[in-house]
Structure 1
Amino acid sequence: MFDDRSPIYRQIAERIKADILSETLKGDEQVMSTTQYAAFYRINPATAAKAFQHLVDEGVLYKKRGIGMFVSPDARDALRTERRRSFFTDVVDPMVAEARTIGIPLDDVIRRIEELKA
């Protein structure tokens, strides 16, 4: 599950965000405890705790004292808004730049997108 490209706590946070976006985890649903997460993935509990705290700080998760961590009710909408904001900068702009670099006319790119739409 984990690779060397980014810190494990960030990979955990991204996995949980992906689960929320795909609705594997839904608003107000309880997530595994940091201890359970650490045991399941065989990682240091402090690493899992750091990931969960990061998600709490972002408003993706919230804590219920003595009960555990839960998905914020509006987490999916907030994550979708965040991803939509960065989509053109992170995906489309580099794609257009690469197409220009290798000599693909933008009309061909648009045509391909239209084909995929159908």
Structure 2
Amino acid sequence: MTDWNNQSPIYLQLADRLGQALLDGTPPEGQAMPSVRVLAAEYGLNPLTVNRALQAMVDAGLLESRRGLGMFVLPQASERLRAAERERFLNSEWPILAAKLRRLGLSPSDLQWSYEEQGQ
């Protein structure tokens, strides 16, 4: 079971989680997404909710529906998603984080930023 919050509709939260998996390469571009039934069972959701999430991803240009075959990840889906996530982060999350860092008196050298420490 997955925890859902009350901040946004569950189908959008699911679309976000599936998008994060796409950024990690799961499934790879050109490959099929898991079926609605599989996703509904995995996340403990109604299949209609899963369908709405997948449709939101189609609308965002990340997936395409192939009649009788399912949903497939479009080429460049991860690049489109990464660009949208970067813009959202820089416009919404970063200003809040930067303000908190200033309030705490933290500088870039205090952060000891390293991709290796994060397993990347």
- Higher fraction of helix: 1
Q: Which runs of 5+ in 1 are unaligned?
A: none
1:61 maps to which residue? 63
Of 79, 82, 87 in structure 1, the residue corresponding to residue 81 of structure 2 is 79
Q: How many residues align?
A: 113
Give the superposition deviation at 1:42.
2.9
Amino acid at match of 2:109: R
Percent identity of paired positions between Structure 1 and Structure 2: 32
Amino acid at match of 1:109: S
Give the 3-state SS of the residue equivalent to 1:78 in structure 2. Answer: helix
Give the superposition deviation at 1:29.
1.0
Greater CA drift, 36-45 or 74-83: 36-45
Asked whether the 8 Å contact 1:21–1:80 carries over to 2, the reply is yes
Give the superposition deviation at 1:116.
1.8
**Following the alignment from structure 1 to structure 2, what is the Cα–Cα distance between the partners of residues 28 and 78?**
15
- TM-score, L = length of structure 1: 0.82
1:17 maps to which residue? 19
- TM-score, L = length of structure 2: 0.81
**Following the alignment from structure 1 to structure 2, what is the Cα–Cα distance between the partners of residues 54 and 25?**
17
Amino acid at match of 1:112: D
Q: Which runs of 5+ in 2 are unaligned?
A: 116-120
